[in-house]
Amino acid sequence: EAGVAQSPRYKIIEKRQSVAFWCNPISGHATLYWYQQILGQGPKLLIQFQNNGVVDDSQLPKDRFSAERLKGVDSTLKIQPAKLEDSAVYLCASRFKLSTDTQYFGPGTRLTVL
């Protein structure tokens, strides 16, 4: 079974530029998550999708961050414009269906904002 795929793996941009990250969850997984992990911290949930609908985006900085999962499969996370404090690893995770299932994480995208 293929795992959660993310691209790119690394990205370096200057502040005020835009960037987008892509995630392909495990086939058949209805729930998809985006996390932000700042160096030395645990992952923080940014947004959760159930199929193509948003379940929780309470911690997403909506003035600059946006995310979509149009067909209930792949998802993209965008930052526009980026700030220095956005430097972090952005993790995507997916879960099959049941609330008792564990989340499966992708390798992450490391973003550096200069």
Partner 1 sequence: KQEVTQIPAALSVPEGENLVLNCSFTDSAIYNLQWFRQDPGKGLTSLLLIQSSQREQTSGRLNASLDKSSGRSTLYIAASQPGDSATYLCAVRPWDRDDKIIFGKGTRLHILP
Q: How far is the CB of 16 from partner 1 (least distance, A)?
A: 27
3 residue type, one letter: G
Please say which residue, 72 or 107, places its beta carbon nearer to partner 1: 107
Q: How far is the CB of 15 from partner 1 (least distance, A)?
A: 24
- Give, as ranges, the residues between 19 and 78 that touch partner 1 (CB under 8 A): 31, 40-45, 48, 55-56
14 CB burial (10 A radius; 0-12, 13-18, 19+): exposed
Distance CA 19, CA 51 (A): 24
Using the rule CB under 8 A, is 87 a contact of partner 1? no
39 residue type, one letter: L
Among residues 109, 83, 106, the alpha carbon closest in space to that of 33 is found at 106
The residues of the shown chain that bind partner 1, judged by CB under 8 A, are: 4, 9, 31, 40-45, 48, 55-56, 91, 93, 95, 99, 102-108, 110
